[in-house]
Amino acid sequence: MDHTVIGHAVYNGHQPIKIDPGCAVATVVNDTELMVNSIHHQSVQDLAPGFRAVAWAADGVVEAIEHEDGTWPLLAVQWHPEYLGDRDDAASHALFAALVEAAEAG
């Protein structure tokens, strides 16, 4: 993606999303509504068997998915927490902490 076109939008949460309250993403970020920096022109339409959508933008775009097998700690997000984390975004830091914890438990 050409960040010269996007500019500082990658560093700011500018799009609201809603997260399924019962999912692992909501547990990790401790919230069911976030402002994210989703800046993509492509998104998930059809999920593979075993996966489920757990967060959506207002336009219906899937913003996060998980695996249905809760023993597999897969969390996937459409936005860019690596940029929001530079702005001390608590949800982004929580996602990275969960990633490190899962890797260490590996």
Per-residue model confidence as pLDDT tens digits over 9-51: 677 778 899 999 999 999 999 999 999 987 777 888 899 999 9
- The pLDDT of 4-8, averaged and rounded, is 57
pLDDT of residue 1: 43
Gap between the Cα atoms of 86 and 70, Å rounded: 30
Say whether pLDDT at 3 is over 80. Answer: no
**Do 84 and 94 contact (CB within 8 A), yes or no?**
no
- Give the domains, in start order, of the chain with CATH numbers: 3-105 (3.40.50.880)
Model confidence, pTM: 0.85
Which comes out higher in pLDDT, residue 89 or 26? Answer: 26
